[in-house]
Amino acid sequence: MYTVLIVIHALVTFSLIGIILVQRSAGDGMGLSSSSSTSFMSGRSAATFVTRATAVLAAIFILLSLGIGILTAHNHTNSGSIVDKINNDLPAASAPVVPKQPLKPAVPRPE
């Protein structure tokens, strides 16, 4: 189930990227775009289709993301947090070594 959701999520993601790249940019009025006869889709119906397709794909993307997150949370209830795992893997800190006798300076201090 999880793998199927991940594959569908990847397909929706690539479709969303593609449909966003097909959209006309806001800077079309600056003369940087190609003519309307060579564009993939033109006219009002194309803009409506692309806008609706973007909205639908975005909604599916969000719902799949939430579903995968909830499914993952339910499957890993006893695992704890990553920080707990890191703290458990670290060796216990030992007490610092304190010499029994104070160290004498190698060179005597002039008095």
Q: What's the number of domains the chain is made of?
A: 1
The contacts of residue 49 (CB under 8 Å, 6+ apart) are: 41
Q: What is the pLDDT of residue 83?
A: 73
CA distance 19 to 53: 7
Predicted confidence (pLDDT) per residue in 16-47, tens digit: 999 999 887 765 554 445 555 455 555 566 67
pLDDT tens digits, 82-111: 777 776 666 666 666 666 776 666 676 676
* Confidence (pLDDT) at 43: 55
| 13: in domain | yes
- 3-state DSSP percent of the chain in helix, strand and coil, to 5: 60, 0, 40
In a domain, 50, yes or no: yes
Domain range spanning residue 68?
Answer: 1-24+43-74
Whether 63 is covered by a domain: the verdict is yes
d(C-alpha 75, C-alpha 3), whole Å: 13
